[in-house]
């Protein structure tokens, strides 16, 4: 494959915006607050931040290095760096994971469009928590409307990817990410000014070390791992578009810090409001779609803040779906020899078919199930608990034990210009610490690591 004419990022800011957009998604704004709430608040946050810095940065740097060294898609990278071996299985796994993830992720992303539409029409007015819960369940299981929003969301995602890397992904994420940060800061300021909000800040930032146990540690490690988009080929794909002169270490650190900042700001925006209205922080996944709409009704300016909150959710979801679709599009374009525009249309249509089945499995077609899980649950469990941690584990083993060490060092140090004094620390982490940590997440995710309790990550 000729890589000389590949599209690529035009600036370091563009790389950071796109990669941070990939990492920052519903996992930061929807999942992080309720997982933190269920696992002790400040104690969870402390462990989470430590894992982000110690393990997250080296893992991200490894994926970027594999991508930039190969200048190829997630499958082509391993075929190029390890020809005539079975390591290309990592690429297959990552592309399949991206396909599955986008299928169910666009279902949830469609929900954000529905709730943005409701917030525009003040659709939460006068409804209590029970009524909001019924409204959410009736919408989620109705079939037709969730399907429409899902297709609309996929159209927006495909439109940006269709435009290319520099004129599509980079251009739009450079606009979307600043908007996301501005909105979440505004929401945080409003939340902390509510009467009684201080208790929420104490809960989030004052760790109770007695609450740190094995399950909290694994939950924090799992959240850090999945939050950074590791293991599905997105960072390898984006890494292949990064120019040789860019500092991968700086980019990796910037992306992980941005991702962590957004997660913390989401906690600042949510927990003070939750405590101000006497709601338990362990509200769970319904926190965003049921609990927060109820809170918005009871605060001054609630209509405005509900509106910008759901705009925030839409932006966060979109910056992530762009990167996931790019994984599949890059593969279809480069390995199956389609033009980029053809590859985008083919990939978006194929994912939309499976995505429609995911959406319908929650209501009109409940027979699409295996055991007690419908198709949506099956794809979510398989990708999050098996494919991503397994992919991440194999990537870090490849980078630490199989990839030519000098080639790896050349990429992470820009041929000896940066990070010379810390490259051996990085190498030790990806060879010994990261594989063990990811293996624990994997075993816990599939329910085999019963010592620390459960597989619900």
Q: List all residues 6 or more positions away from 337 whose beta carbon is below 8 Å from its beta carbon.
A: none
**pLDDT tens-digit map of 250-267:** 999 999 999 999 999 999
Percentage of the chain beyond pLDDT 70 is: 96
pTM for the predicted model, two decimal places: 0.93
243 φψ region: left (φ > 0), alpha (ψ -120 to 50), beta (else): beta
* Domain layout of the chain by residue ranges: 12-452
> Alpha-carbon distance 327 to 329, whole Å?
6
**pLDDT tens-digit map of 134-155:** 999 999 999 899 999 999 999 9
**pLDDT tens-digit map of 36-63:** 888 889 999 999 999 999 989 999 999 9
Taking the CB of residue 365, how many other CB atoms lie within 10 A of it? 16
CATH architecture under which domain 12-452 falls: Up-down Bundle (1.20)
* Section 51-79 average pLDDT: 95
Q: Cα dist. 306→127, 195, 316 in Å? A: 14, 18, 15
Q: Which of 181, 97, 143 is nearest to 390 (CA)?
A: 97
Q: List all residues 6 or more positions away from 232 whose beta carbon is below 8 Å from its beta carbon.
A: 94, 97, 98, 101, 324, 327, 383, 387, 388, 391
Is the confidence at residue 226, as pLDDT, over 80?
no
For residue 284, list its beta bridge partners: none
Taking the CB of residue 137, how many other CB atoms lie within 10 A of it? 15
Q: List all residues 6 or more positions away from 41 whose beta carbon is below 8 Å from its beta carbon.
A: 203, 204, 206, 207, 208, 271, 281
CB 402 within 8 A of CB 59: no
Return the SS3 of 369.
strand
> Alpha-carbon distance 113 to 132, whole Å?
16
């Amino acid at each position: 494959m000729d890589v000389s004419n590949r599209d690529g990022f035009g600036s370091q800011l563009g790389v950071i915006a796109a990669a941070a957009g990939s990492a920052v998604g519903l996992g930061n704004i929807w999942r992080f607050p309720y997982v933190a709430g269920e696992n002790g608040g400040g104690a969870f946050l402390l462990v989470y931040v430590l894992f982000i810095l110690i393990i997250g940065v080296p893992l991200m740097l490894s994926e970027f290095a594999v991508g930039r060294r190969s200048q190829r898609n997630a499958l082509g990278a391993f075929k190029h760096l390890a020809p005539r071996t079975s390591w290309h299985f990592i690429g297959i796994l990552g592309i399949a994971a991206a396909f599955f993830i986008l299928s169910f992720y666009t279902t949830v992303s469609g929900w954000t469009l529905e709730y943005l539409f409701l917030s525009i029409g003040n659709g939460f007015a006068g409804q209590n928590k029970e009524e909001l819960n019924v409204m959410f369940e009736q919408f989620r299981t109705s079939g037709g409307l969730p399907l429409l929003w899902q297709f609309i969301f996929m159209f927006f995602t495909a439109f940006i990817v269709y435009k290319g890397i520099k004129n599509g992904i980079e251009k739009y994420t450079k606009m979307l990410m600043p908007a996301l940060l501005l909105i979440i800061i505004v929401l945080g300021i409003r939340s902390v000014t509510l009467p009684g909000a201080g208790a929420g800040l104490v809960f989030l930032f004052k760790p109770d070390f007695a609450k740190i146990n094995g399950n909290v540690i694994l939950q924090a490690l799992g959240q850090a791992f999945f939050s950074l988009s590791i293991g599905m080929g997105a960072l390898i794909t984006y890494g292949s578009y990064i120019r040789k002169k860019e500092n991968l270490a700086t980019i990796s650190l910037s992306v992980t810090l941005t991702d962590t900042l957004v997660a913390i700001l989401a906690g600042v925006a949510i927990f003070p409001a939750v405590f101000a209205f006497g709601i338990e922080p362990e509200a769970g996944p319904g926190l965003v779609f049921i609990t927060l709409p109820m809170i918005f009704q009871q605060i001054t300016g609630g209509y405005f803040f509900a509106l910008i909150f759901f705009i925030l959710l839409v932006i966060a979801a979109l910056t992530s779906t762009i990167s996931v679709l790019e994984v599949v599009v890059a593969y279809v374009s480069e390995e199956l020899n389609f033009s980029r525009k053809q590859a985008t249309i083919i990939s978006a249509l194929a994912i939309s078919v499976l995505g429609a089945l995911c959406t319908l499995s929650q209501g009109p077609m409940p027979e699409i199930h295996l055991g007690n899980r419908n198709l949506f649950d099956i794809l979510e469990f398989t990708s999050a608990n098996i494919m991503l941690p397994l992919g991440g584990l194999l990537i870090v083993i490849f980078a630490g034990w199989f990839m030519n060490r000098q080639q790896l060092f050349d990429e992470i140090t820009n041929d000896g210009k940066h990070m010379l004094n810390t490259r051996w620390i990085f190498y030790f982490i990806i060879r010994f610490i990261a594989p063990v940590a990811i293996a624990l997440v994997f075993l816990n995710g599939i329910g085999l690591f019963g010592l620390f309790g459960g597989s619900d990550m």
